[in-house]
A and B are shown apart, each in its own frame.
Chain A
Amino acid sequence: MELTDADLVARVLADEDQHAFGELVRRHQSSVRGLLRQLTRTDIALADDLAQEAFLRAYKNIRSFRGEARFSTWLYRIAYNCFREDARRRKELVGVDEEQWQSEQDPQSVDPGLRHDLMHALSLLPLNERTAVVLCCQNGLSHDEAARVLEIPLGTVKTNVLRGREKLKRTLAAWAPN
């Protein structure tokens, strides 16, 4: 019988069982690294460094996980905080950089495949909308869970998801043939 995340967390808490924590890392590394790649706009090296930092923080602070939310939600929150702190350090959270980055992008250079179009359209969204769309639409978090991860009001999450979706649909419609 496969142990649940809660079982593995309990083993880490009871015995500081690093093998159990290793299993948690193996289970969630793909989604956490994927989230951070989206947030860092596919900067793979930076995303992996942040993911490593997030798992290290999770291990050190695992006693603060009370099982009220899913382990993955708790992990996303730590990963998002790592990203936010790093972005603050790099001063990438200001709107000027977002606009500048968007103006540098050339839609004509994008691969014509739908997947690439979608990924590119996603990367063009402002950070707050991109994060909300990635968490809710791509990773399947509820609006409530995303609000907890991002530490913002529920209404703001809903608005960001709505705006992000609309922009994605508009962008994809413009790229569609005919």
Chain B
Amino acid sequence: MIDDETLDRQLRETVPYIDDDGFTARVMASLPAARRESGWLRAAILLGLALIGSGVAYLIGAGHGVREGIIELANFPIWLLLVFAFGCGLVVGAFAVIFAIRKTPEVRDLTRLEF
């Protein structure tokens, strides 16, 4: 009588690889359509950002118009403008990192987040 180890080995060796032969294509064709982010949401985000930008421009102009505001901004001390530019860079960079982590599984694995 054959032993357990030989039997298990024979069993593993009897498993044939089954060629795909169009199986994956059939499965993919049966999947429900992927949900796409709706167009109105994108439009709302763009419109919202445009409104915020307009509001900021108005505030910088202190109600005197964007052109006057930019002229006033040019009179600011250089160090203050540098700090402002650095702050803007940090905010944009932070958003970029968050987006990259959200979209990239490899990075997400490194951060040990559950999924």
Interface residues of A (CB under 8 A from B): 3, 6-11, 13-18, 21-22, 25-26, 29-31, 33-34, 37, 48, 51-52, 55-56, 59-60, 66-67, 114-115, 118-119, 122, 133, 137-140, 165, 168-170, 172-173
Contact = CB atoms under 8 A, between A and B. Distances in A.
Q: Which 4 A-B pairs have the closest CB atoms?
A: A10-B105, A16-B34, A30-B18, A7-B105
Contacts of A22: 24, 27-28
B105 A29 contact: no
Question: Mostly helix, strand, loop or mixed at chain B's interface?
Answer: helix
Interface in B5-30: 7-8, 10-20, 23-24, 26-28, 30
B95 interface: no
B67 interface: no
Interface residues of B, number: 34
A52 B13 CA distance: 25
Given A7-B105, A48-B23, A165 B115 contact: no
Contacts of A67: 114-115
Contacts of B24: 22, 25-26, 29
A14 B108 CA distance: 11
A119 B14 CA distance: 7
Contacts, number: 99
Interface in B90-115: 102-103, 105-106, 108-109, 114-115
A55 B103 contact: no
B35 interface: yes
Interface of B: 1-2, 4, 7-8, 10-20, 23-24, 26-28, 30-32, 34-35, 102-103, 105-106, 108-109, 114-115
A66 B115 CA distance: 6
Contacts of A8: 105
A10 B31 contact: no
Contact of B34 (A7, A18, A37): A18
Contacts of B106: 7
Contacts of B108: 10
Contacts of B26: 52
Contact of B7 (A15, A17, A29, A165): A165
